[in-house]
Amino acid sequence: MMIPYGRQEVTEKDIEAVIKVLRSDYLTQGPAVPVFEERLCDYTGANHVVALNSCTSALHVACLALELGLGDILWTSPITFVASANCAHYCGASVDFVDIEPDTALMSVKKLEEKLIIAEKEGRLPKIVIPVHFAGQSCDMEVIHALSQKYGFRIIEDAAHAIGARYRGEPVGNCRYSDITVFSFHPVKIITTGEGGAALTNNIELANCMKLLRSHGITREQDKMKKISEGSWYYEQISLGFNYRMTDFQAALGISQLSRLNEYVAKRSEIASWYDNNFKTLPVNPLIQNKDVESSYHLYVVRIKNGKEERNKFYRHLRDNDIFVNLHYIPIYRQPYYQGYEFLENAEKYYQETVSLPIFPTIKQIDLSKIVKSIEAFFI
């Protein structure tokens, strides 16, 4: 049987929570969504949470709330899923990329600062920077925030991989060093709502804007209307919004899953430590974990020496042994849609050398042992 690189766990408790909603009067805009939002606030320490139907939607409304538009520039990491960059184009803005740290695959604060110095001289500073908490490890947000104060950009933390992670002892998502943080609840992530996402902020105006945008730009609140309400049925569309709402049964699944988040992160950390110990004598290099950071280990990535050819052989060897490794990610600027961008040195080297190994809470010890034995066999 194939061992996947990631897999969700859905328990009987999860199923019961969803069935309860399906038997209720509300499937879409009912009581479960605000409860899920409240639980996320409690967990992260953020003041406001807006639940949405995907993390991509969360990125989009976050950019719009920060007034990204035509003529603006957004910077992000090239080693991430394309949504981290696409959200800029949804708003009519342009995108550029900041190279990564070679040992963590996180946005390099050194490269960011160098790029900002040049951009300031050229009059091309970014309006928004999106650091990506790759594989579950937070970027150095205190330094990035300090740069934002100096150069005047806004920050969206792409924490699609990182719910349950911690930075300097505090939960990722508290927005201490950012305007907005986004989470993903896709099935391969730490917890799932099927599809789903969330945008977190400490700014009430940003939260209200994102709530409006997720539901067609429509309000029933009198203080936001242009006219006096004509009755309980009355509503007004006051901006161009979208149908980005999370359903109540998705939220019910999220509430149930969130109760096990710490357990899931602890198990992922245990698996990562087990891998680390077994790879000490093998020519594979796990990503380095920075001090002051506790990863949620959405991914466990190893670097294979001797470049792309050796990495490809390693990849095929494991797949041939029914171990469904993957590669995260192809640098975004290599995609046909993003032609014309400069190739970045560290991102390119990373792309040539890395493979993501299976890591998820329900993986069996016999499967982990098979993975390590297959890797040992490759290097014999």
Residue 228 has pLDDT above 90, yes or no: no
Tens digit of pLDDT for each residue in 149-171?
999 999 999 999 999 999 999 99
Residue 365 has pLDDT above 80, yes or no: yes
Residue 122 has pLDDT above 80, yes or no: yes
d(CA 348, CA 24): 51
DSSP label of 156: E
- Contact between 201 and 179 under an 8 Å Cβ cutoff? The reply is yes
Tens digit of pLDDT for each residue in 95-114?
999 999 999 999 999 999 99
pLDDT of residue 379: 93
Cα of 332 vs its chain's centroid, Å: 15
Tens digit of pLDDT for each residue in 258-293?
999 999 999 999 999 999 999 999 999 999 999 999
Q: Which of 31-40, 71-80, 87-96, 226-235 has the lowest mean pLDDT?
A: 226-235
Token pair in block for residue 299? 């991914």
pLDDT of residue 44: 98
- Contact between 39 and 255 under an 8 Å Cβ cutoff? The reply is yes
Tens digit of pLDDT for each residue in 23-43?
998 888 889 999 999 999 999
Residue 222 has pLDDT above 80, yes or no: no
**Residue type at 97 in one-letter notation:** F
Per-residue CA distances from 186 to 54, 66, 117, 160, 195 (Å): 8, 25, 37, 9, 5
pLDDT bucket at 84, cuts 50 / 70 / 90: very high
Residue 61 has pLDDT above 90, yes or no: yes
What are the beta bridge partners of residue 356? Answer: 301, 326
Tens digit of pLDDT for each residue in 313-352?
999 999 999 999 999 999 999 999 999 999 999 999 999 9
Helix (H, G, I), strand (E, B) or coil at 293: strand
Per-residue CA distances from 115 to 98, 101, 157, 314 (Å): 8, 14, 19, 35
Span 242-256, average pLDDT: 97
What proportion of the chain, given as a percentage, has pLDDT over 90?
Answer: 91
d(CA 118, CA 116): 5
pLDDT of residue 80: 98
| DSSP element (H, E) containing 143 | helix 141-151
**Structural domains of the chain in order of their starting residue, each with its CATH number:** 12-258 (3.40.640.10), 261-379 (3.90.1150.10)
Q: Which of 123-127, 220-224, 259-263, 287-291 has the lowest mean pLDDT?
A: 220-224
Per-residue CA distances from 112 to 66, 132, 219, 289 (Å): 20, 13, 39, 20
Span 49-58, average pLDDT: 98
pLDDT of residue 235: 82
pLDDT of residue 233: 78
Tens digit of pLDDT for each residue in 290-304?
999 999 999 999 999
d(CA 158, CA 144): 13
